[in-house]
Amino acid sequence: MNVRLLALGDVPPRLAETVLAELPRPYVGGEIGRLAVSLERCYDRTRAQVDAACLIEQVPQPEPGWLLLGLTGVDLFMPALTYVFGISHLGGRRGIVSWFRLHPDGKGPDAASVLVRRITTEVVHESGHAMGLVHCVVPDCAMHRSLWPEGVDLKRPDYCPACLATLNASL
């Protein structure tokens, strides 16, 4: 399965390249692109957040054999929820990940590498959903649900054998 990482707005230099290089099997190839989206259209002034459900509709349908994953730094919410790290169409090969709430406390090179690892893990997570996977009970599987940033650190940017088998079977 090929992955196209799409910058939705400004993305730090080399972030997309680093994440793409870290993606595990069965993502065998990929490319990086940019997608012009209207954040304004999905912005909720009362909440000062961007509606993830609105934003993902601006990600186009992928062509066969491809999975589209948007990267953004805006704070995402879903109408019923106060925030989300990302959103995807379950099995629809489209998703979005935001790093707005993934920043670790403090600064420095360690913080930067933690952030990249968290983003990569959540990209693997949303890609899994976009490929049809649901949440996994294995604590260090990328498909385990994380509800706070430190929870992402408990996971690996990879799938457990059961999730990987499900994923491979769906290809």
Partner 1 sequence: MTMPVRILVVDDEQHIRNSLATWFREEGYDVGVAASGKDALAAVAREGTNILLVDIKMPGMDGLELQRKVRELAPDATIIIMTAYASVETAVQALKEGAYDYIVKPFDPEAVSRLVRKAAERYSLLAENRALRERIAGASPALITSGSPAMAKVIELVDQVAPTDTNVLITGESGTGKELVAHLIHAKSTRRFGPFVVENCGALAEGVLESELFGHERGAFTGAVGRHRGKIEMANEGTLFLDEIGDVPPKVQVDLLRVVQERELKRVGGSETIKVDFRLVTATHRDLEAEVAAGRFRDDFYFRINVFQIPLPPLRERSGDVPALAEHFLQQFATQMNRRISGFSQDAMAALMTYPWPGNVRELANAIERAVVLCRGDRIEASHFPFAGPPASADHSLAAIEEAHIRQMLAACSYNVAQAARELDIDRVTLYNKMKKFGIERP
| Shortest Cβ 69–partner 1 spacing (Å) | 15
Residues that bind partner 1 (CB under 8 A): 47, 51, 53, 77-84, 87, 90, 129, 134-137, 145, 147-148
| Shortest Cβ 125–partner 1 spacing (Å) | 9
Identify which of residues 16 and 123 has a Cβ nearer to partner 1 in the complex: 123
Distance from C-alpha of 79 to C-alpha of 112, rounded to nearest angstrom = 30
Q: What is the 3 state secondary structure string of the chain?
A: CEEEEEECCCCCCCHHHHHHHHCCCCCCEEEEEECCCCHHHHEECCCCEEEHHHHHCCCCCCCCCEEEEEEECCCEEECCEEEECEEEECCCCEEEEECCCCCCCCCCHHHHHHHHHHHHHHHHHHHHHHCCCCCCCCCCCCCCCCCCHHHHHCCCCCCCHHHHHHHHHHC
Identify which of residues 20 and 84 has a Cβ nearer to partner 1 in the complex: 84
Query: Comparing C-alpha atoms, which of 110, 93, 101, 102 is closest to residue 157?
Result: 102
- Which residue among the candidates 22, 122, 126, 150 is catalytic per the annotation? 126
Is 31 annotated in the active site?
Answer: no
Identify which of residues 16 and 74 has a Cβ nearer to partner 1 in the complex: 74
Identify which of residues 82 and 106 has a Cβ nearer to partner 1 in the complex: 82
| Shortest Cβ 146–partner 1 spacing (Å) | 10
Distance from C-alpha of 33 to C-alpha of 46, rounded to nearest angstrom = 31
| Shortest Cβ 161–partner 1 spacing (Å) | 14
Q: Return the active site residues.
A: 126
